[in-house]
Structures are given as C-alpha cells and as structure tokens.
C-alpha cells in the first residue's frame, strides 16, 4: 500500500481512494463523529441546506478539531470567499457549464493568479499569524477546487472546461443532469451517454473524477470509470439508514 499524502489536494491528484459524505444539518457534532469514525472528508452543503456564514465557520472549526478535511458546496462563485476565509479545505461549485464560469471559479479561489479577496485575519490566515506572502502561498497550495458537471450545456463546452488551468477535479452531478435531461433515473440512456462524454473529456485532460453514491453498492461500477473519490449519502441519510435498520431488527424480535 502506498503511503497517503497529507494534503487533501495531493491525495485527490494522486487518485487515492477517498470517501466522504454531505453534511446537511447546521451543527458541529455530526462532523466530529464522522471525523472520529475515520471518513476522509465531509462536504458542507451550503447549496441545498440552511447553512449561514456563522454556522459554516463553526462547522469548519469542528472539522479542524476532528482532523477531517471539510469542503463547502457553495451556492455560486459569490459565496466562495466565505468558505475559504473560514478555513475550508476547498469548494465544490455547482453548474460549471462553460469555460468562462470555470475560469471565474479559479479566479475566486486563487490569489496568484486569481482575484481572491485578501485577508489574513481569518482562520485561513491563522488570525494574522501568517504574513501576507506566507498566507497567499499556503492557501493557493492547499485550496481544492472541484467543479460540478451537471448541465446539458456543459456537454457543448466540456473540452474547453477541462482545459481551464486550476480546476483540481470534476464532480459528476448525475442527479441534476437527469432532471435537466427530462429523465427519471440516473441510468437512463441519455444520462449514461452524457456521463460517458464527461468522463472521456475529463480523463483525457488527466483530471480526477468524483461522484455521489447513495450506497457503497454503486461504487464498483463508477470506479470502473476511473472515479476514486466518492460522497456517500449525507449525515441525514446515514442516520436514516441506521435508524431504519435497527427499527427493522427491533420489529423482528
């Protein structure tokens, strides 16, 4: 077995097998528990769940205390700075459907080259402990950028999107893609064809791929596509599964 690299961004680039989950409920305890369990990372879902800036800040503090990497799925490029200043390992950005949007994402995440607004007074700058240059270098080195491919429009621009320098990995948003294509299942033929086109382009660009799964049973088929990083369910989904399993056992006694 190869030795794991310490940084999440390095591990992603090295195609290490990693497993994380979405965090839907604003709070800290679930993140602490999952860090103690040994998951590789969590993704704070600020796109679809009721996370405000203060809750994100506390959640990232909990992740730091629990020793687990934490990304934030942001609503848009406008909310990237909040996540990074609070100390996120990186961001997942939805609906990256053109190269222009991909470049805007990179610019919002990086200082050099980029246009990330500067402060070293936040957690990301260790509250001023890091000087200007040290803060810029450390954050540009560690910040992980994952672009979500989930729109039919992206199919027309995929070669240009994957060519944008600075995107670390791509996430296959099969759910949104299924809805946008007017289908009712992620294994519908048009969805599978779209995913195959995305996979082909990302693979040709030698970039890592990530995907969501409802359960580990879905992983082997996706791993065959070259995917190594998985987000399994969410803390709510895992809670529901555990509770339902125990309830079924109880009723059988």
* DSSP states along 89-137: SEEEES---SHHHHHHHHHHH-STTS-PPP-SSSGGGGGGTS-HHHHHH
In a domain, 2, yes or no: no
Q: Is residue 228's pLDDT more than 80? A: yes
**In a domain? residue 3:** no
- Which residues are known to be catalytic? 48
Residue 138 belongs to some domain of the structure: yes
At residue 4, does pLDDT exceed 90? Answer: no
pLDDT of residue 236: 98
Domain that holds residue 112: 8-252
Provide the number of structural domains found in the chain. 1
The mean pLDDT of 157-172, rounded to a whole number, is 98
Pairing outcome for strands 229-234 and 41-45: unpaired
Q: What are the tens digits of pLDDT across the range 197-213?
A: 999 999 999 999 999 99
Structure tokens at 92: 């997942």
183 lies in some domain: yes
1 band by pLDDT with thresholds 50, 70 and 90:
very low
Q: Is residue 43 part of a domain?
A: yes
Confidence of residue 6 (pLDDT cuts 50, 70, 90): low
CATH number of the domain encompassing residue 122: 3.20.20.60
Say whether 48 sits in a helix, a strand or coil. coil
């Amino acid at each position: 077995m190869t030795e794991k690299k310490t940084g999440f961004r390095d591990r992603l680039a090295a195609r290490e097998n990693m497993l994380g989950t979405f965090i839907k409920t604003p709070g800290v305890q679930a993140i602490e528990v999952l860090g103690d369990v040994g998951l590789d990372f969590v993704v704070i879902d600020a796109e679809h769940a009721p996370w405000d800036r203060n809750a994100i800040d506390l959640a990232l503090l909990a992740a730091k205390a629990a020793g687990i990497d934490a990304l934030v799925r942001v609503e848009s490029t406008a909310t990237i700075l909040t996540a990074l200043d609070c100390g996120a390992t990186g961001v997942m950005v939805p609906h990256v459907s053109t190269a222009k949007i991909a470049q805007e994402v990179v610019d919002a995440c990086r200082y050099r080259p980029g246009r990330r607004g500067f402060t070293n007074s936040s957690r990301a700058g260790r509250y001023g402990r890091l000087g200007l240059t040290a803060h810029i270098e450390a954050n540009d080195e560690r910040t992980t950028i994952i672009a979500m491919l989930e729109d039919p429009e992206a199919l027309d621009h995929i070669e240009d999107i994957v060519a944008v320098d600075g995107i670390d990995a791509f996430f296959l948003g099969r759910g949104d893609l299924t809805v946008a294509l007017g289908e009712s299942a992620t294994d519908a033929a048009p969805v599978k064809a779209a995913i195959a086109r995305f996979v082909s382009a990302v693979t040709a660009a030698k970039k890592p791929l990530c995907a969501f799964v409802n359960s580990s049973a879905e992983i082997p088929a996706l791993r065959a596509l070259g995917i190594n990083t998985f987000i399994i369910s969410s803390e709510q989904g895992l809670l529901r599964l555990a509770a339902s399993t125990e309830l079924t056992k109880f009723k059988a006694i």
